[in-house]
């Protein structure tokens, strides 16, 4: 399928205040999109809006917690009213916390499910009715390679991302004749605030700028599921065949003293 132009489209990006979201918004604006910037922190959003404007682009900001449905829907309406009908939505906002077992950090797990899964549902569902009415649009969610394997110490994070993948799988099939595209993006390790505290080796680590560039190309191509980098994707898939004792050696116990492992973005 030939890559399509994004020029003139209105794009909404959640989690735009840092990391992949910041770079995605900047690169989409450089590609000719008018970009709605959504995140919890007003200051970084205002800074990004200035960066985009200085480069000749157009952006509008809306402060919202993606785990709050009302805030998401309000942010969507604000962006639509400022920039026009939304053609592309990228549900990128996410959080990651290690899963503890003694005691289980239930509040952190609830937060990951609320932001990583329900945040995607709220963001895409806010845009979907108008896309269906126009018979055109593109729904994108940034998941993770961690969705493909439950990792010790990261079971809740992995579960939240696996749920995103399954949700998008079913949604894509359900929307196949509506004119609305669906893309799941599964990155590996990316240099973001989420991975900044990791002290262990992160195979295939790439910059947020490089990751965003790959995602923009996948969006242009209308890719259904985009996993990258491919070597780490292969490693994750193969790890499903490893015995538990070997996985326990590869991924140290997060309740033990010392550096804590963290998931791919």
Going from N- to C-terminal start, the domains of the chain cover 10-250
Single out the catalytic residue among 122, 148, 157, 226: 157
Contact 59, 11 (CB under 8 A): no
Q: What's the pLDDT at 252?
A: 59
Other beta carbons less than 10 A from residue 245's beta carbon: 7
pTM, 2 dp = 0.90
Identify which of 181, 150, 158, 155 has the alpha carbon closest to the alpha carbon of residue 168.
181
Q: Which CATH number fits domain 10-250: 1.10.1060.10, 3.40.50.720, 3.40.50.1820, 2.40.160.40?
A: 3.40.50.720
Count Cα neighbours of 133 within 13 Å in the Cβ-side half-sphere. Answer: 7
Contact 73, 119 (CB under 8 A): no
Q: How buried is 177 (Cβ within 10 angstroms: 0-12 exposed, 13-18 middle, 19+ buried)?
A: exposed
Is 157 assigned a catalytic role? yes
226 vs 204 pLDDT, higher one = 226
Residue 134 has pLDDT above 90, yes or no: yes
Q: What's the pLDDT at 256?
A: 43
Mention every residue, 6+ apart, whose C-beta is less than 8 A from residue 36.
10, 11, 12, 13, 59, 60, 61, 62, 75, 76, 78, 79, 80, 82, 83, 86
Structure tokens at 176: 């196949």
| pLDDT tens track for 187-223 | 998 877 766 566 555 666 789 999 999 999 999 999 9
Average pLDDT, integer, range 84-94: 97
């Amino acid at each position: 399928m030939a890559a399509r132009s994004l020029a003139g489209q209105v794009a909404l990006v959640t989690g735009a205040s840092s990391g992949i979201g910041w770079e995605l918004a900047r690169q989409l604006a450089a590609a000719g999109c008018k970009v709605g910037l959504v995140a919890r922190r007003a200051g970084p959003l205002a800074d990004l809006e200035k960066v985009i404007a200085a480069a000749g682009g157009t952006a509008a900001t809306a402060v919202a917690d993606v785990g709050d449905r009302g805030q998401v829907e309000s942010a969507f309406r604000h962006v639509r009213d400022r920039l026009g009908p939304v053609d592309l939505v990228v549900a990128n906002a996410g959080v990651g916390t290690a899963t503890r077992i003694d005691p289980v950090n239930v509040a952190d797990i609830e937060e990951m499910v609320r932001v990583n899964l329900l945040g995607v549902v709220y963001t895409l569902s806010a845009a979907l009715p108008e896309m269906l009415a126009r018979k055109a649009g593109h729904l994108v969610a940034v998941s993770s390679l961690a969705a493909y394997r439950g990792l010790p110490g990261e079971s809740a994070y992995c579960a939240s991302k696996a749920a995103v993948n399954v949700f998008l799988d079913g949604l894509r099939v359900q929307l196949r004749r509506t004119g609305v595209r669906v893309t799941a993006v599964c990155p590996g390790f990316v240099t973001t605030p989420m991975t900044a505290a990791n002290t262990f080796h992160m195979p295939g680590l790439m910059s947020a700028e490089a990751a965003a560039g790959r995602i923009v190309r996948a969006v242009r191509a209308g890719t259904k599921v985009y996993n990258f980098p491919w070597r780490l994707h292969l490693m994750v898939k193969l790890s499903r065949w490893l015995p538990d004792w070997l996985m326990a050696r590869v991924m140290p116990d997060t309740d033990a003293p010392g550096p804590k492992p963290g998931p791919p973005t």
